[in-house]
Amino acid sequence: MTTRRQLAVLTSLALLSIAAPAAAQTFDDFPNRPIRIIVPQAAGSGVDLQARVLAQKMGELWGQQGVVDNRPGANAIIGMDAGAKAAPDGYTLIYAPVSAVTTNAFIYKKLPYDTFRDFLPITQTTANPLGAVVNPASGISSIKDLVARAKANPGGINYGSFGIGNMTHLMGVLLSLAADIKMTHVPYRGQTPAITDVVAGQIPLAFTTTAGVSDLVETKKLDLIATFGEARDEQFPQTPTVVESGYPSVIVVGWSGLFAPAGVPPAIVTRIYDGMAKALAMPDVKDAIFRQGSKAVSSGSPQAFERYIKAETEKFHPVIKAAGLEGSQ
């Protein structure tokens, strides 16, 4: 018959057998095999090129290859779904643009994953300056000019974007709400056709990445009347921000970031964050990302990145509602 003392000893041994593997799980050898980075966009896209810069640097820092796995389609939903369903061991990461984690959750009636439950934010990696460009013949020279004309002719000014629900669309909605104006949205299938029509004078105005129009601005085929960051764009320091034009709430920055599937151990998240923060501070990485029209940034911590995402979603949810986009897809 088992005595109380024997039971106590057996219980202690059982607890030790459970605790021992957990205590040994320090992940000091992470990573010890290649890491897959899912990119929910096509090869050659801006987000894909950024991911490849960081994947290469990951290999140099850790001695393990970073393998980019492009899963484009359905406005990033296919790739995000693959990432959400991956094993939570740190060997599958997701490199996602802002729309995949802040706007899709509200625009789509149903997603195959929970945007706010199924991913762990690791770090922001890039910031992409955005701006408003006009045809020089439009006679619009500033945001104040634009607002005055829109007030005088509600709905009479057309603005182009890269597509319905795209951040360039929401820029126009956010400005319209802040300035109490009405403009007419003209969605295009990407940046090139939208900007082409502004240059041709088919529409007077478009919201865009500043990097994507820098040559056209320098050759005077377009006028950059404002940028949408909190501070002036380093590439266009002479151009005022929308904030300076009197609308302090109108701050819009495109960005990308690194995520992991929910359930990855905190020690691994910290290790990945530390490696990415180190990479993003390196001059060659900064230069490579700058040449792509973005700025390399680190969030400061995974927790800071999570707070930033929360603030972004809280800002754009009412904008999506105002645009009539909530649950529209």
CATH for the stretch 130-227: 3.40.190.10
Contact 48, 41 (CB under 8 A): yes
The pLDDT of residue 304 is above 70: yes
pTM here is 0.82
State residue 26's pLDDT score.
59
- Burial class of residue 271 (count of CB atoms within 10 Å of its CB; 0-12, 13-18, 19+): middle
Bond from prior residue into 34 cis (ω within 30 degrees of 0): no
State residue 13's pLDDT score.
42
Domains 35-128+253-322 and 130-227 share a fold: yes
Tens digit of each residue's pLDDT (9 = 90 or more) over 220-268: 999 999 999 999 998 899 999 999 999 999 999 999 999 999 999 999 9
CATH for the stretch 35-128+253-322: 3.40.190.150
Alpha carbons 175 and 123: distance in angstroms, whole number = 28
Alpha carbons 312 and 318: distance in angstroms, whole number = 11
Q: What percent of the chain has pLDDT over 70?
A: 92
DSSP string computed for 285-297: HHHHHHHTT-EE-
Alpha carbons 280 and 301: distance in angstroms, whole number = 13
Specify whether the backbone of 63 is left (phi greater than 0), alpha (psi in -120 to 50) or beta: left
State residue 25's pLDDT score.
52
Contact 210, 138 (CB under 8 A): no
Single-letter code of the amino acid located at 226:
A
Tens digit of each residue's pLDDT (9 = 90 or more) over 8-60: 444 444 444 454 444 445 577 889 999 999 999 888 888 899 999 999 999 89
How far are the Cα atoms of 73, 94, 172, 211 from residue 285, in angstroms, in the given order? Answer: 28, 19, 32, 17
Domain ranges of the chain: 35-128+253-322, 130-227
Q: How far is CA 283 from the centre of its chain?
A: 22
Q: What percent of the chain has pLDDT over 90?
A: 75
Q: Rounded mean pLDDT of 126-140?
A: 95
Q: Would you place residue 291 in the very low, low, confident or very high pLDDT band (cuts 50, 70, 90)? A: confident
Q: Rounded mean pLDDT of 205-224?
A: 94
Q: Rounded mean pLDDT of 140-163?
A: 96
Contacts of 174 (CB under 8 A, 6+ apart): 249, 250, 252, 316, 319
Alpha carbons 133 and 159: distance in angstroms, whole number = 10
